[in-house]
Amino acid sequence: MYSKFSELKIVNLSLPLRALEILSGYLKLLTPFFNWISMWSIFDFLMILCVCIVQLSAKGTVMNTPCPTIDDCCVRNMTNFWKHKTELHCSGIQYIPVVNEIIHVLTIDDSDDIKELSEKSISPYNNLTDIILNNLKNLEHLDSSTFKNLNKLQSLYILRASVLKELPPDIFHGLSKTFLVLRISKANLKAIPDLSDLGTPTAMHIIEFEGNQLDTLPTNGIKTRAEQLLLEYNKISVVENWAFNGSEIAKLSLRGNYLDFLSEHSFDGILNLRTLDLSHSSMKVLPTSGLKSLEVLRIENAPFMTVIPSVYLFGNLKEAYLTYSFHCCSFQFPAKHDYSSYEFHKEDSQTPSECVQTKQNYDFQVVSNDFIENGYIDYANDSEEEFFNEPAVTNRTQDIICGNITPPNMESDVKCWPQPNALNPCEDIMGFYWLRVCVWLVGIAALLANVVVLLVVFRKKFNYSVPRFLMSNLAFADFCTAIYLLLLAYEDLVSSEKYFNYAYTWQNGVGCKIGGFLTVFSSQLSVFALCLLTLERWYSIRRALYTNKMTFASTVRIMAFGWVYSIVMATMPLLGISSYSTTSICLPMDTARASGMCYVFTLLTFAAAAFLLMLFCYVQIYMSLSYETRHAAKGEASVARKISVLIGTNFACTAPVIFFGFTALLGYPLIDVTKSKILLVFFYPINSCANPFLYTILTASFRREAFSTVTK
C-alpha cells in the first residue's frame, strides 16, 4: 500500500513544470472571486439560488417533444423547467378537431376556412390556458360565449384576422380570474369591445389592439385595469374627454396613430398612469390634465408638436423622449420656458401651512413597465402585487414645521432626449460671445467688400474678360455667404439666452430655409468659380504660345453649368433630401437616412476634388516656370503667387471642414459638436471675406479702376 502511494506521489511530482505554472496563474486570477464567495452567508447563498431558480422558471427554454400529426394537427408536450403543458397545434384546418388529450395551449395557424368560432368549437378544451389564432384570413365572427367556460384561460392571441371587424360587447364577460394577456393585432376592428370585465379582480398584464382600424376613443370608451394598454398603429385621430375614465393603466401607448387632436381632459380619470407614448403622431398640443403621476413620456417623431407643457404641470416626470432637442431645454430652463408656471409653482411651494408636522410623504402605487415580447409567455405565477405595488413613484417629501414649508428645488431633474448640443443649443445659437462678435464682423466685412467688387466689375459690363467674369461670379457667391452670416447673427441676437423658445419657428421657417439655400448655393458656386479661375490661369501659362485660350463664350457655358449644379444642390434639402431644419445654423447635416448621407457625401467629395484639382494646377504652374522666372518680381509668376495665396486661404478654411466632415460621416468623429460649429460658422466663411481682398481689392489694377469709378 505504501509503495503504491509512493508511486502516485512520484507521478504527481513528475508533472511538467510549465503546466503547474499555468494552473497557478489561473488560480491567482480567480482569487478575488473566491474571496468574494467566502464572505457570503448561508442566507446570501440561498437568496441567490432562489433568484436563479425563479429566472430559469420564467425564461427557461421550452422543451418540445416530437409532434405526431392528426388531421393537420399535432399534439406535443411543452416543458418549461418544472411546468408541463400540452399543445394542440393545427395549420390549414377547416374545423377544430377533438382529441383525447388534456390540452392547455391551442394554436391555429394559416386557415382560410374557419369563418366563425363559437362556444361549441372551443368547449371540448375547457382546460385551455392559452389560445393563439394566427392568420385566420376569413375569420369574421366570434360568438359572445366563445370563451365563456374557459375557467383557466390566461392569454388570448388573435393575430392577422383581416376581416374581423367587431367583437360582441360581452365577449370577455365571465373569463377566468387568471386571464392576463389579450392581444388582437393586425385585425380589422373598428371599435374596442367592452373591457370592463377585464382586470377584475386581477389586473391584466397586457391588452393590445395594434394595427386595427380604430379611429376614435369616445368618452368612457375604455374602462379596465392593466399593466399595459397598447393601441398602436391604428387610425385614431381623436381622443375625447375622459376616454379612459375609471381605468387603472400603468403604460398607455398610442404610438403610430393619426392623432391630431387631444381633448383637454383626454387623460382624466386614469389612475396611476406611469408611461405614456404618443410617438409618430400629428398632435400639436399635449394636455396635461390627468398626468400628475406620469414618470415616462414619449413623443418622438411628432413634427407638429411645437411647444411642450411646463415641467411643473407633470409633477412626477422622470424621463422624456421627445422629437426636438429644444423641447428638452424647456425642462432644463423652466423659468425661461414658462415664467408664469414657474412663478405659480414657486408661490405655491412657499404658501404657509396651518398644520404642524415634521414630514409628509406622498406615496403612489403604480404598475411595473415590463414589456411582453412577441410569442407565448406563461403568467401563471405572476401576482397583482408584482406590478401594482412596486416600484412606487418616487416619494415627494416636504418639511412642514410651524406653518413654514421648506421650498423644494425649483430646478428640473427630468432626464430628456434628444439632448441639446452646440448645433441645437438652449440659450444662444453662437454659444460664445467672441463667436457672436466675429460672425458680425466677418459678415459685414464680406458684404461690403463683395459689394464693392461687384460695383467696380460691372462698371464696364460690355468689356468683359474671362478673369473679370469669373471674378464677378466669385464675388456674388461670397456676397450670398455674407447674407447667410448676417441672417444667422441677427437671429442669434433676437433669441439671445432663450433660443429654445424660438427654435421651432426659426428652424422650420422661411428664414432658415433661405439661409441654408444661400450657404449651400454660395459654397458650391464659389468652389466652381475658383476652379475655373485656376484652370484659366493654368491654361494661360502652360499654353502661353498657343492662341486658342479659353474663350469668353466657353467660360460662360461652363459657368452656367456651375450655376445649375449649385442651384440643384441647394434645392435638394427643400425637397426632402437632407434638411435645413435639423440644426440652428441651417446647414444640411441630416444623415439619418441614406439619401441625406449621400447628399452630404456628394458635397464633401465635390469640395475635396475641386481643391485637389487646384493644387495640381498650381504645382504644375510653378514647376513650368524657369528658375529666373520663379524668382522674378513681375509677370506671370507674380500673378500665380497671388492666386496661390487666394487658393491657399480658401483651402485652409475649407480643408478642416472636409476632413472632419468625412470622418464624422464614416462614424469616427474626431472633434466634438462645439468645435464643429466653430469651424462651420467662423473658419469656413472667412474665405468669403478674404476672397475680394486677396484677389481684387488689393491689386493695383482694381485700385486704378476704383479710383476711376469714384472720380467719375
Q: Compute CA 390 distance to the chain's CA centroid, rounded to the nearest angstrom.
A: 30
Side-chain half-sphere CA neighbours of 323 within 13 A: 22
pLDDT band at 301 (very low <50, low <70, confident <90, very high): very high
Bridging pattern class, strands 73-80 and 69-70:
antiparallel
DSSP per-residue codes, 687-700: HHHHHIIIIIITSH
pLDDT band at 539 (very low <50, low <70, confident <90, very high): confident
Positive or negative, the Cα torsion across 10, 14, 15, 21? positive
pLDDT at 21 over 80: no
pLDDT band at 312 (very low <50, low <70, confident <90, very high): confident
- Residue 629 burial by Cβ neighbours in a 10 Å radius (0-12, 13-18, 19+): middle
pLDDT at 53 over 80: no
pLDDT at 11 over 50: no
How many other CB atoms are there within 10 angstroms of residue 470's CB atom? Answer: 25
Q: At what angle do helices 510-542 and 552-571 cross, to 10 degrees?
A: 150
Its pTM stands at 0.76
What residues pair up with 319 in beta bridges, in sequence order? Answer: 296, 415
* pLDDT value at residue 89: 92
pLDDT band at 511 (very low <50, low <70, confident <90, very high): very high
DSSP per-residue codes, 469-532: HHHHHHHHHHHHHHHHHHHHHHHHHHTTT-GGGTHHHHHTSHHHHHHHHHHHHHHHHHHHHHHH
Which of these ranges, 24-33, 100-109, 143-152, 694-703, has the smallest mean pLDDT? 24-33
Which of these ranges, 346-350, 467-471, 609-613, 686-690, has the smallest mean pLDDT? 346-350
Q: Compute CA 453 distance to the chain's CA centroid, rounded to the nearest angstrom.
A: 46
Which of these ranges, 185-189, 543-547, 649-653, has the smallest mean pLDDT? 543-547
For cell 445659437, the residue is 429
pLDDT at 335 over 60: yes
Pairwise CA distance, residues 140 & 698, whole Å = 84
Higher pLDDT, 380 or 82: 82
Average pLDDT over residues 569-576: 95
* pLDDT value at residue 148: 84
**Which of 165, 156, 240 lies closest to 198, judged by CA?**
156
What residues pair up with 376 in beta bridges, in sequence order? Answer: none
Cell of 131: 389560445
Residue 166 near residue 142, CB atoms below 8 Å: no
Positive or negative, the Cα torsion across 434, 437, 443, 448? negative
Which stretch of DSSP H or E encloses residue 660? helix 636-665
Q: Tell me the domains of the chain and their CATH numbers.
A: 62-179 (3.80.10.10), 205-420 (3.80.10), 433-711 (1.20.1070.10)
Instruction: Please state whether the peptide bond connecting residue 391 to the residue before it is cis, i.e. omega within 30 degrees of 0.
Output: yes
pLDDT band at 502 (very low <50, low <70, confident <90, very high): very high
Label each residue of 225-285 as H, E or C: EEEEEECCCCCCCEECCCCCCCCEEEEEECCCCCCCEECCCCCCCCECCCEEECCCCCCCC
How far apart, in Å, are the Cα atoms of 243 and each of 50, 266, 280, 290, 650?
43, 6, 20, 11, 62
Higher pLDDT, 550 or 630: 550
pLDDT at 344 over 90: no
pLDDT band at 47 (very low <50, low <70, confident <90, very high): low
Residue 105 near residue 132, CB atoms below 8 Å: yes
pLDDT digits 0-9 by tens, 91-129: 988 888 888 888 999 999 998 889 999 888 888 888 899
Q: Compute CA 703 distance to the chain's CA centroid, rounded to the nearest angstrom.
A: 55
Higher pLDDT, 591 or 487: 487
pLDDT band at 641 (very low <50, low <70, confident <90, very high): low
pLDDT band at 654 (very low <50, low <70, confident <90, very high): confident
Please, what is the average pLDDT of the chain?
A: 80
- Residue 521 burial by Cβ neighbours in a 10 Å radius (0-12, 13-18, 19+): buried
* pLDDT value at residue 526: 92
pLDDT band at 402 (very low <50, low <70, confident <90, very high): very low
Cell of 392: 412606487
Bridging pattern class, strands 296-299 and 275-277:
parallel
Higher pLDDT, 589 or 345: 589
* pLDDT value at residue 106: 94
- Residue 496 burial by Cβ neighbours in a 10 Å radius (0-12, 13-18, 19+): middle
> Which are the contacts of 631, defined by CB distance < 8 A and separation ≥ 6?
637
Pairwise CA distance, residues 161 & 445, whole Å = 68
Instruction: Please state whether the peptide bond connecting residue 418 to the residue before it is cis, i.e. omega within 30 degrees of 0.
Output: yes
Which of these ranges, 51-55, 322-326, 615-619, has the smallest mean pLDDT? 51-55
Which of these ranges, 262-266, 287-291, 467-471, has the smallest mean pLDDT? 467-471
DSSP annotation of 585: T
Average pLDDT over residues 204-226: 95
Q: In terms of residues, how long is the chain?
A: 712
DSSP annotation of 406: P
Radius of gyration of the chain from its Cα atoms, rounded to whole angstroms: 37
Helices and strands (H, E) in the chain, number of each type: 19, 23
Average pLDDT over residues 483-502: 94
Higher pLDDT, 226 or 371: 226
For cell 384570413, the residue is 137
With residues binned 3-state (H G I as helix, E B as strand, rest as coil), the percentages for the chain, rounded to 5, are: 45, 15, 40
Higher pLDDT, 167 or 458: 167
**Which of 115, 106, 117 lies closest to 156, judged by CA?**
106
Angle at 477 between CA 476 and CA 479, to 5 degrees: 60
pLDDT band at 396 (very low <50, low <70, confident <90, very high): very low
Pairwise CA distance, residues 288 & 310, whole Å = 9
pLDDT band at 692 (very low <50, low <70, confident <90, very high): confident
Average pLDDT over residues 564-583: 94
Percent of the chain with pLDDT over 70: 72
* pLDDT value at residue 353: 47
Instruction: Please state whether the peptide bond connecting residue 303 to the residue before it is cis, i.e. omega within 30 degrees of 0.
Output: no
